[in-house]
Structure formats: structure tokens, C-alpha cells
Chains A and B, each alone.
Chain A
Amino acid sequence: MSASLPPVADQGALFRRLRARLARNGLRVLLETGRARLVTMIATSAFVAAFTFGVSLYLFNELRVNDVPFKGGIVEALFDLLFFTLGTMLVFSTGIILYASLFTSPEARFLLCSPARADHIFATKFQAAVAFSSWGFVILGLPIFVGYGLISGVPWYFYALLPLFLLGYVILPGSVSAAGCLLLVRYMPRNRKQFFALVGLVLAAGALYWLYRVGLGFRRSVATAGREVDDLIGQFAAFRSGAVPSHWMTRGVMAAARGDLTGALVPLAQVWSNGLVMFLIAAFVARRVYRTAYDRLSAFGRAKKIYRTGALDRVMDALVFYLDKRTRVLVVKDFRTFRRDPTQWVVLAIFGLLMLFGASNFRQYAAADLAVMDKYAISLMNLCGTSILLCAGLSRFVFPLISLEGRKFWILGLTPLSRDQLLRGKFAFAATGALVVAETLILASDALLGLPGPGLVLHAVAVAVIALGLSALNVGLGAYLPTFKETDPSKIVVGFGGTVNMVTGLAFLVAVIGLMVVPFHVVELAKGATGGAARAGPWVYAGVPVALLVGAAALVLPLRAGARSLRRMEF
């Protein structure tokens, strides 16, 4: 016999209140104890937005100088490509975040054991995932279109409609991604590895073929004139169909730019209405399959895997040959932990491949006498990108190492290993990895770009100083400002010590690049602009010794402070 039916809560309102309360409390804590973190977040976002705005202004100005019509076919094709690319990125990023929050988070497990309805759990997780994944989209998208508006001269409502367009657009890819994620988990074939490998291969092959066709069309259109431009635009035809949401965005934005308000509002309504309908479909799918998908994912179990020492471990062991045996064992242990967790290195791998792909393409464009982009500007961007990636990567993975070690320090305490050796081991691990990755990326991309010898040497030295300095900063400050109570490395990174480390690291790499590399590039760019009239004096290299001193300070001071602090610690 059934018990009486329990009352039903208004769960929509309940979860809205929960989100509001979490946001309010989170903000209060941030203002009370994490101002440095808040300022860093705002400053970093402002810096990225300002940089994007500056590049956009420059590129749109180039279009004006070359008499390309601002409201015509070429710009429209570029916007189509931009929206399509950003939409695709949103699909993947929202899907990944949503997968983690729906299927692996303790909160999802807690809510699934309660009477919370599956579609309400989904909706609350969806909103968080979309807000998180679209942050970058807004930070990058707004400056590009504001830059476009300023250069091309648009009516006021172009700016007013921009946020509505961008906010509306994140719902549709997010919903598609959410529904796809749920259905994939629910109906995924049992041999997941083979399935994903096949899908990945098909997507990669398609993308490479398309990029090849675009590259071909681009070279032809620059080398010649006339019909070939149409050929190039033709490569984007698939994104320009009236059925593709990214094209609704382009149509709306372009209509607003032309002063056609009605023409802008219709695509805007199309973007919002389709996004909201797709969200309802995704919520319906969640209601039907979320719980069974969760069960199915658990029921897969984990295949038994035997882990052994790999060839890469032996390479790492050989690279730190100068250390004593015990410290080497520690370094190889850290490296093994790192390589067995793909989430730690996959971003690095993707970035590296994209950078090399871009540099290789640039060489082909240069061969076709394409002087739109300068190799000095590109190589400087590569250097900055690699340095920022090093800074972010080391802060995320190396800074928390000592804090995490602290909880089980008694294990290390029982081994015949001094605390100085422990710190040296962490530094050797970080510095070896950072040097190998950064030097490989910079030297390979510079060689592909055809950068001359002095530039190549300068970059190699600069990136070595940055890799060693950042490694020492992260290891030293990690020991100086540890957080032993926390077991989640991502929380250690965003704590006080992590924020200080991130800000110091960013300041350090700005100083090294500014002193050592920027003057050289400024002169080379000036040479290009003046047809070789500008001359490089010895002052171009005046910053190098200063940068080396800054690098030496970054290498010695944090490690010394960290070692002193570690020796004093009681566990």
C-alpha cells in the first residue's frame, strides 16, 4: 500500500532563490576576503577586451585603407565565419562543462537523491554552464563589434542591440550542446573509446579539408583579383544559408549597422525564439533521460587498466640527470601524475598544434606575396601567447603541488629526503617541462614563420628566462603561501596565495617581454612600414641585461623564501 502523496514544491522558484543566495553570499565573501582576486579577474578581462578592441580597430582600419566596403559581402562573410566559430566553441565548451556538472559533481548526486525534478536540476546546471562558457564569448565579441561600429559609423541602436544579440546567441548553441550531451550519455554505444575516436577523426578530416579549401581560395584571391574572391566567399556558403543561426546573427548585426532597425529586429527575434525553444527541448530531453543517463554512465564501470612505467618517464628521468637519485624519483612521480591526467595537458597540446598550424599557414601566405600580416607581429603574438599559457599552466598545476603534498607530508617525512630536496625536485619538474614545451613551440613556430637568426636567438633566450622564472615563482610561492586545508587544486589556485602568484607571474612576463623582445619587434615593424628607412641602434638590446637580472631575481628569491618557509613548517 502506498503512503500518501507528498506535497510538491515550486522548484523553479526554489532554484532561482538558491542561485541568487549563492551568488549574493559568494560576492560578499569575494568583497570581504578576495578583493585581490576580484581585481585580478576584472583587470585580466579588461586587458583581454582592450587587446581585442585594439586589434579589431587596427584590422577594420586596414579594411578602410584598402577600400573594402564595411557593409558588403566580404565583411558579412567574415562575420558569418566569426559567429559560426564562436557558436561551435560554445557548443563544445558548454557540453564539457555541463557533462561535468550533471554527471560527476557532488551537487548533482545530492539533488538526484532528493525529490528535485530532473528538468529543474538540468535547468539550474545549464544556466551556470552557459554563463561560465559564454563569459569569453562576450569579452571577445563585444570589443570586436564596438570596434567595427566605431570605424564604420553606425547608428546608436547598433550598440544597444549588441548585448541582446550576443546574450541571445549563447542560448541556442548551449541548448543544442546540452541536449546532445544528455542523449549521447544516454544512448552512447558501449565501446566509447572507439566511438569518440571515430567521431574525432571524421571531424578533424572535415575541418582540415575545409581549411585547405579556404586557404587555397584566400591565396588565389589575394594573388589575383575578381572572380577568385567569389570563390573564397563560396567556401563559406555552408555558414551563410538562411537556416544557420550564425547567419541570423550576421544579418541582424549588419542590418543594425546599415540603419535598418526592422531588418535587425527580425533576426534578433529569430535568435531568441529559436534559442528558447531549443532550451525547452533540451529540458524536455533532460526530464526524460537525465536520471537514466546518470544510471547508464555509472553502469559502464571502469575498464581495468594496468599502468606501467612509460618511455616518457625514462626521458624525464634522463632530463634531470644532474639531480641525486632520490630527488629524481620525486620528479618522475610528479611527471607521471601529470601525464596520466589528460585534463592537465590537453589544452597545452591543442594550443601548440593551433600555433604551429597558424605559423605554417603564414609561410604559405607569405609565399603568395601576402603582406597583410607581418611575421614579426605574428611571432611576438606567439611568444606572448606561449608565455601566458605557461603562466596559467604553471599556476594551475605547479603552484598547488606543495599545498597538496602537505596533507600527506608524513609520507615524505618518513623518506630520507630533505625539504630542500623536495623543493628542488618540484622546481626541476616544473622547469624541465616548461622549458621543453615553450622552446619547442617558439623555435618551431619562428622557424615556420621564417624569422631571421637574431630574432630566433632573442626569442629562445626570452622564453628560457620566462620558463625558469615562472617555474621558480610557482614553486617558491607555492611553498611560501601554501593552503594545506584545501584538497581541491583549483581552489588552491584561486585562493590568496594563488592570486598573488598569478599577478606576480603576469607582471614578471610583461617585464621580461617588454624589456627583452618588444624593442626589437618595434624596430622591425618600423622597418617594414618605412620600407627599410628605420634603423636599429644598440639601444634595441639595452633591455636584455636588465631582463636577465629580473629573471635571476625571479629564480633565486622565491625559491629561497619558499625553502626557508618549508624548513620552518610543522606538519
Chain B
Amino acid sequence: MTARSIPWLKFTAPPNFYVLAERLTPWLWGVAALFLVAGLYVGFFVAPPDYQQGNSYRIMFIHVPAAWMGMFLYLLMALYGAIFLIWRIKMADVMARAIAPTGALMTFLSLWTGALWGAPTWGTYWVWDARLTSTLILLFLFLGYIALHAASDDREKGGRAASLLAIIGAVNVPIIYFSVEWWYNLHQGVSVMRADGPSMAPSMLAALLLMTVAFWVYSAAIVLRRAQSETLSREARKEWAQQAACGRLTRDTRERAVAQAQQENAVSESGGQA
């Protein structure tokens, strides 16, 4: 039981997690809104028009962060899945499950904005370019995860199967990232992470980074919110969850619920090893 003393494991107890998320999300919403406004302002009014693409390139400020978030969220989901499979921490499954819809949304947004960007620059909404195709595949990996998680009657079992699928699919994410160099064709080359420095105007880069932070914090906020409601629905029979749903969770109830959860964990762990 020494592991329980590590502070971050405190938040594997659902009531503690719930309270943490309750405290964090208002801040996250605020920060996300702030960066979004700043990023959009710099993106639309400060950044100069592109010398080739004119103003149409400005969709990049949504397209690129969405694409990054899609890939990042998939890896994060797979990581939580791995944590769930290895240490059987139920909150990890809740988090992975909460990440999936946002990740799918981000991937879809990157495809959608990419199509809108492709129309004026490439002259077509869709090409079977390696990167587009692998992003589409990433979207299907997210959908497969959600479908597999939902298909099982037993939430625990569905979570474990879906986590395994997420880990297997994570092999695909590096392929997406390196596909630009592997099967280079229509999609423009890497322009941010290059050894000789970014190949764009500083204000463009600033807008891009601001928007990336905004997307990142927005994702964190919405994921925590979804994880909160998932926690409540999983623990719907418990006293603390019923209090929390009414917004009247007291410290006393929470600590009692945590102690009870730890006791149950200890019992199930020793039972599992016998």
C-alpha cells in the first residue's frame, strides 16, 4: 500500500478526481477562451497575407492545431489505455474514453478544414494523398475505439478490449507523421519543425502557437468535463456521486468515499492474486 502515498495516485480515486476536475475546468475554459481570442486576432488581423495563397492560408490556424491535437490525443488515449491495462486504474479508462470523442472531432476538423483549404490552393477538396488518407484512417481508429468500447455489455471488459485496440492502433500514428517524408506528394512539406528554423513569418507562427495552446487547453477542459460526467454515471449508486450531482459534495463524504474505494481496491487486488 506504499504506492497509495504517491500524490498523483490520489486522483485515481473517483471523488478526488471529480473535485480536481471541478476546480480545474473553469480555469481551463478561461485560458482556452483567452488564447482563442488572441490567436484569432493575430491570425486574422496581424499576420500578413501569404505571398502565394493570399488570405486563404489563414484556415491553417485551425487546420494545423486540429491535426496536431488529433494525433496527440490518440497517443494520449493509447497511453491511458496502457495505464488501464497494466495497473487496472479505472480512472485511466474513464479518461481514455473521454478523450476519444474529442480526438475524433479534432481529426474530423482537420480533414474538413483541410478540404476547405485544398479547394482554393490545390483546386480540389480531396486527393488521395498519403497524409490525408492516413488522417482518415486515424479517424476510423477513433471511431473503432468508440464502437468497441460501446459494444460490450460489460463496461470493464469493453474498456480493456478498446484499450488494447488503441495501443495497437498507436502504431499507425507515427506512420501518419512520417508519411510526409515517406510518400511525399501533394501535401506541402514540413514548415514548422525544421532544423533551420520555421519557414514562416513570426506573426503567423505566433498565431499558430496561440491557437495550438487554445485547442490544447480546450481539449483538456472538455475531456475533464466528459470524464466527470462519466465518473458520475459509473458511480451513480454511491452517496458522494449523488451529492456531487446536486453540487453539494462535502469534504467529509468525499473522504469517506475515498477510504471506502481504497478498501474495495485492496480487497479486489488481494482477491485477484489468490
Is B a genuine binding partner of A? Answer: no
Interface residues of B (CB under 8 A from A): none
Chain A interfacial positions (CB closer than 8 Å to B): none
